[in-house]
Every structure is written in structure tokens, then in C-alpha cells.
């Protein structure tokens, strides 16, 4: 892959892939922590100006400050991804300021885990609204400036739960399965405008959420994974970086599973 510009090389750890995204504008949802933060940081480290989207203005400010301290460019756009009007306003603001949106990463997501007989309407609706309706709204809004430029990269963060199901996650699994289907359809609609649409489906990734499972459960999880370990947020971010790169121009409507071999 092409090397990033000299001014950005220092922000990219050794051994990770490098892409030249200089001059491109990326919008990342759920960017205040975890996978979203890692994705935003790697896109910025490779030259993109990153619009950071999440509900917490304070957390976004911290992420933006970290990116800028490392030599990158980032801006915070607090937004509730359950609100259609707020989503359109953010996309319009980014497109108007920069004249373009080249990369959209739909990462924002929530869980409300419980078994089906106990699942409330609110628990179902919250997860489907955030995890599926939100990406739909962002794709609908961001695809317009992308079509005008005849270029774009859309990456949706799905999950292996959406591919194989997971007890206690009927809402989450349904939302991520829907996101995979949405990805495939939108990819076929936008391919003629040189816009690719793909999904990344992480398996068990080291995070505050997985740490809360406790050592005993985590040991059982690792036994199920052929790689015998949890994935790292940086490994998901690098998969997103590749799909966001010019090198991935002939890859679309695909779901890249990053799970250490869990689902084969």
C-alpha cells in the first residue's frame, strides 16, 4: 500500500499498514471510545481529517485532542445517532465545511442483553434504532456528497453475532444481521458511482465490555477461539483502514470477519 505522507508517519506505530488518505475527510460514529476511537485514530494517523461523532462532547474532545497531539486532524460533532434530524445536521455540517465526505464508518452501537421472554419493547427498539436505523440514516445522508464526487468508502461495523446468532442477544444479533443485508444492498445501489460499501464483523475483542465478563468466562471464550486470544481494537481498525483505502476499490458488498477463526 502507498506510504502515508512524511508528516504523518510518526503517528503510525511500526508494523501496521500505512495508507495515504491525505486530503480525505472521514466521519466515524461511536468515536468517543473503544473501537470507534481506535478507528478514528488510525484514519487520522494516515492523513484523513476525521469528524468524530458520539453523544458525549467531553469524550469526543478528549479523542480530538489526542489525535491532534499526535499530528492528526479531528473535529468533534456531538450527536445522538437515534435522532434523524441531528444526523442530517452533522453530515451537512461536515460536507459544507470540507466540501466532501470520502469515508463513512458506522461504528456506533449499543447492547441490551437479555433472553427473549424477558426482553422489553424498549430494549428491542433502542438496539435496532441505534445499530440499524442509525447507519441507514448516515448512509442515506453521506451518500449524497459521495455521489457528487463519484467516490466514497462506507464501512459498517457489524458483528459475528449477526452471522451466527448469540443467546441473550436477539435484538443485537438482529440489528447486526440487518446491517449486513443493508450493506450488501446499498453496495449494489452505489457501485456505479465508485462508492464501495462493506462491513467488518468483529469477534471477541479486548475491551471494557469483555473485561467485565471476568477471568473464568474469558478463559472459556479464548478456548473457543482458534487463535486462543481476544482480538485487539487496533486489528479491527486496520481492517477498516484497508477497506477505506484506494486499494480496496474493487471490494464491495462484502463482510470481512475478524474473529481469530471463531466462526470459520
Catalytic residue among 77, 151, 172, 242: 172
Q: In tens digits, what is the pLDDT along the chain, a chain of 264 residues?
A: 333 333 444 455 566 899 999 999 999 999 999 999 999 999 999 999 999 999 999 999 999 999 999 999 999 999 999 999 999 999 999 999 999 999 999 999 999 999 999 999 999 999 999 999 999 999 999 999 999 999 999 999 999 999 999 999 999 999 999 999 999 999 999 999 999 999 999 999 998 878 877 889 899 999 999 999 999 999 999 999 999 999 999 999 999 999 999 998
pLDDT value of position 209: 75
What letter does residue 231 receive in the DSSP assignment? Answer: B
pLDDT value of position 2: 33
- Which stretch of DSSP H or E encloses residue 105? strand 103-106
**Ordered structural domains, the chain, with CATH:** 18-258 (3.40.50.720)
pLDDT value of position 14: 63
pLDDT value of position 6: 37
pLDDT value of position 12: 57
241: left (phi over 0), alpha (psi -120 to 50) or beta: alpha
Cα separation, 243 vs 195, in Å, equals 11
pLDDT value of position 8: 41
Terminal CA-CA length for the chain:
27
Report residue 9 as a C-alpha cell: 508517519
- Residue 183: CB atoms within 10 Å: 25
Cα separation, 223 vs 262, in Å, equals 10
Q: Which residues contact 40 (CB under 8 A, 6 or more apart)?
A: 26, 28, 31, 50, 52, 63, 67, 74
pLDDT value of position 210: 80
- 250 carries an active-site annotation: no
pLDDT value of position 1: 33
Amino acid at each position: 500500500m502507498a506510504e502515508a505522507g512524511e508528516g504523518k508517519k510518526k503517528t503510525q506505530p511500526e508494523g501496521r499498514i500505512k495508507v495515504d488518505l491525505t486530503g480525505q475527510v472521514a466521519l466515524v460514529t461511536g468515536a468517543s471510545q473503544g473501537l470507534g476511537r481506535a478507528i478514528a485514530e488510525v484514519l487520522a494517523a494516515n492523513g484523513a481529517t476525521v469528524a468524530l461523532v458520539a453523544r458525549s462532547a467531553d469524550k469526543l474532545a478528549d479523542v480530538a485532542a489526542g489525535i491532534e497531539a499526535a499530528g492528526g486532524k479531528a473535529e468533534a460533532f456531538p450527536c445522538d445517532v437515534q435522532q434523524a434530524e441531528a444526523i442530517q445536521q452533522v453530515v451537512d455540517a461536515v460536507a459544507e465545511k470540507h466540501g466532501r465526505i470520502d469515508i463513512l464508518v458506522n461504528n456506533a452501537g449499543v447492547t441490551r442483553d437479555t433472553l427473549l421472554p424477558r426482553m422489553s419493547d424498549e430494549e428491542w427498539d433502542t438496539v435496532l434504532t441505534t445499530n440499524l436505523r442509525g447507519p441507514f440514516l448516515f448512509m442515506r445522508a453521506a451518500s449524497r456528497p459521495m455521489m457528487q464526487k463519484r467516490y466514497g468508502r462506507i464501512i459498517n461495523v457489524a458483528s459475528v453475532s449477526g452471522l451466527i446468532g448469540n443467546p441473550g442477544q436477539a435484538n443485537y444479533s438482529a440489528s447486526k444481521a440487518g446491517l449486513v443485508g443493508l450493506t450488501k444492498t446499498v453496495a449494489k445501489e452505489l457501485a456505479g458511482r465508485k462508492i464501495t460499501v462493506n462491513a467488518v464483523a468483529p469477534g471477541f475483542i479486548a475491551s471494557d465490555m469483555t473485561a467485565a465478563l471476568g477471568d473464568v468466562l474469558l478463559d472459556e471464550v479464548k478456548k473457543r477461539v482458534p487463535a486462543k486470544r481476544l482480538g485487539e481494537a487496533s486489528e479491527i481498525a486496520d481492517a477498516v483502514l484497508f477497506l477505506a483505502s484506494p486499494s480496496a476499490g474493487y471490494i464491495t458488498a462484502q463482510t470481512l470477519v475478524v474473529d481469530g477463526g471463531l466462526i470459520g
